[in-house]
Amino acid sequence: MDFKSKRIAAINDLAGFGRCSLSVMMPVISACGNQCCPVPTAILSSTDGISGFSMKDLTDDLSVYLRQWKQLKLSFDGIYTGYLSSARQIETALSFLQDFSRPDTCILVDPVLGDQGIVGSNCTDQLIKEYHSLIARADFITPNLTEAFFLCGLPYQEYPDERTLDLMGEMLLSKGPKAVIITGIKHETSIDTYLFERDQKNRIFSPRCPQERIGTGDLFSSIFLSSVLQGDSFVASAKKASDFIAKALFFSEEQNIPVEEGICFEPFLGQLSPYFTQRSEMI
């Protein structure tokens, strides 16, 4: 089998209960046949959508955590940044890119700022300034619709027209990334993903599940980056991620999984394996 496992650094928080962030990224990246090396920015007892959670911020611990990695002279095929709660954490992520990336490292930034037209209380002017610096280093950015509007400084629209989406794609590309993927664009029966490169635009349709859940962005970016690193095209990688999410969303609803627990993706992990794909093609 012509396959080589890639090494991906995943910078995000870790929730003990609930499917999001590193608790999604680690199994999904691994199932795709790649090595996931987590860099936890915080530890939570559960996702913040479940009341009563506790959190330990690890910003001050990361320099010690990463000291050994420097001594080991580690580098990565891919680096994926997720939720960063402060300007200091973004500065740490920028330093990480400087210390651990190679010229051929694929960098994906998921600018986790909010959803459903609402951004987090931590979204200060300084945080956004630092985020623009991080986005400029990225090969790919994967904002949802809310985050795309916020990063562009435009008023949020739940149902933007094609012209507005094209404008945001152009504005985000002008900030430095090679490609922009805007997720979570709602239509009556579908939820779409728009993909922008310098010279082209693509649109991926997915059936819309009535229930919306946390963790979809983590699932999408983990599958997308893993697929790109294995040589799949930009569009094929995004479609693979979108199709997987749609399948897991409808399954979660059928199984009556509480919404706050996220997407029940575990039964489908085997389908992400390159060995599963090869066997399917042979049948």
pLDDT reported for residue 277: 55
pLDDT reported for residue 237: 97
HEC profile of the chain? CCCCCCEEEEEEEEECCCCCCHHHHHHHHHHCCCEEEEEEEEEECCCCCCCCCCEEECHHHHHHHHHHHHHCCCCCCEEEECCCCCHHHHHHHHHHHHHHCCCCCEEEECCCCEECCEECCCCCHHHHHHHHHHHHCCCEECCEHHHHHHHHCCCCCCCCCHHHHHHHHHHHHCCCCCEEEEEEEECCCEEEEEEEECCCEEEECCECCCCCCCCHHHHHHHHHHHHHHCCCCHHHHHHHHHHHHHHHHHHHHHCCCCHHHCCCCHHHHHHHCHHHHHHHHHC
In degrees and rounded to multiples of 5, residue 129 shows phi and psi of -60, -45
> Which residue ranges make up each domain of the chain?
7-282
List the structure tokens of 117: 């037209």
CATH architecture of 7-282: 3-Layer(aba) Sandwich (3.40)
d(CA 218, CA 39): 15
pLDDT reported for residue 249: 97
Look at residues 120, 110, 178, 176 and name the one whose alpha carbon lies nearest to residue 148. 110
pLDDT reported for residue 187: 87
List the structure tokens of 136: 């400029």
pLDDT per residue, tens digit, the chain (283 aa), is 577 899 999 999 999 999 999 999 999 999 999 999 999 999 999 998 899 999 999 999 999 999 999 999 999 999 999 999 999 999 999 999 999 999 999 999 999 999 988 888 888 888 988 999 999 999 999 999 999 999 999 999 999 999 999 999 999 999 999 999 999 999 888 899 999 999 899 999 999 998 889 999 999 999 999 999 999 999 999 999 999 999 999 999 999 999 999 999 999 999 999 876 554 444 4
d(CA 11, CA 38): 6
Q: Is the pTM for the entire model greater than 0.85?
A: yes
pLDDT reported for residue 1: 57
pLDDT reported for residue 82: 97
